[in-house]
């Protein structure tokens, strides 16, 4: 694959990845600092960001390692932390159907933020979708790797207070949610998601994420005809 043949896809992927870059560099930096604070060598941070690349799970893994959890405990915790991706990953089956050798990497690199960009930002018809997906995914992972490695190296040399840094993830999701609405112009799914999140938080507390996703899906399936009718009427 010649990069010169796909300059348009690279340019569009980079432009659309900028909101993710703003969050990933900061969050990756915070992860690198956390790893350094537990006195892990910088290359462990690099290897985790290259081969795990799971954001929240990487933060949680530091706690798992420090608590010396067993393999089964870590496997189960990892499954429940990332199970949400099995729900929204299904909606990309058609997009990834004809991606050939790129598909394994696209599946591996599918994070929450990459999914949000893939589903909210349209591309020009003359672009190659599969190459755009590849470059977007690679750009996003490169931001995470760059931030985490920089944080690990910085944290190894200087003590740093990381309080408040993780809020950048919340800010990033707010921006991507706004982009989703601007793209779809349909308020009902966002209302359903908000209500489901509040209910799940009240019932499940800090373990509300999976419950909110399931409840949102149930409500959206139940109201599918009404939502689709509203689109047609609009």
DSSP string, 122-183: ---TTS-HHHHHHHHHHHHHHHHHHHHHHHHHHHHHS----TTTTHHHHHHHHHHHHHHHHH
Query: How many Cβ atoms from other residues are within 10 Å of residue 227's Cβ?
Result: 15
pLDDT in the model for residue 232: 43
Q: Contact at 8 Å (CB) between 32 and 45?
A: yes
Query: How many Cβ atoms from other residues are within 10 Å of residue 71's Cβ?
Result: 7
Q: Can you state the angle between helices 42-51 and 129-157, rounded to 10 degrees?
A: 160
Note down pLDDT in tens along the chain; length 234 residues.
Answer: 667 778 999 999 999 999 999 889 988 998 998 888 888 999 999 999 999 998 878 887 887 787 777 787 778 778 766 777 777 788 888 889 989 999 999 999 999 889 989 988 888 888 999 999 999 999 999 999 999 999 999 988 887 666 665 565 566 667 667 766 776 677 788 888 888 889 988 888 866 766 787 888 788 888 777 766 665 444
pLDDT in the model for residue 172: 60
Q: Tokens at residue 12, please?
A: 């569009």
pLDDT in the model for residue 71: 81
Q: Cα separation of 35 and 52, whole Å?
A: 14
Q: Cα separation of 208 and 196, whole Å?
A: 9
Tell me which residue of 55, 52, 35 sits closest to 166, measured CA to CA. 55
């Amino acid at each position: 694959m010649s990069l010169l043949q796909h300059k348009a896809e690279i340019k569009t992927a980079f432009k659309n990845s900028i909101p993710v870059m703003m969050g990933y560099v900061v969050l990756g930096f915070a992860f690198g600092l956390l790893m350094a604070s537990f006195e892990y060598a910088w290359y462990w941070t690099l290897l985790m960001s290259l081969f795990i690349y799971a954001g929240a799970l990487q933060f949680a893994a530091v706690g798992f390692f420090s608590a010396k959890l067993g393999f089964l405990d870590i496997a189960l915790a990892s499954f429940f932390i990332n199970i949400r991706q099995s729900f929204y990953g299904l909606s990309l089956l058609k997009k990834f159907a004809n991606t050939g050798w790129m598909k394994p990497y696209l599946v591996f690199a599918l994070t929450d933020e990459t999914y949000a960009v893939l589903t909210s930002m349209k591309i020009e018809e003359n672009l190659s979708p599969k190459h755009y997906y590849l470059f977007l995914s690679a750009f996003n992972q490169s931001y995470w790797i760059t931030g985490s490695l920089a944080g690990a190296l910085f944290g190894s040399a200087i003590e740093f207070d990381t309080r408040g840094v993780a809020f950048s993830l919340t800010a990033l999701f707010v921006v991507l949610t706004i982009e989703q609405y601007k793209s779809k112009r349909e308020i009902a799914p966002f209302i359903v998601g908000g209500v489901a999140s509040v209910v799940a938080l009240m019932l499940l507390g800090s373990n509300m994420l999976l419950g909110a996703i399931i409840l949102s899906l149930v409500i959206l399936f139940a109201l599918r005809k009404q939502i689709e009718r509203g689109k047609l009427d609009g």
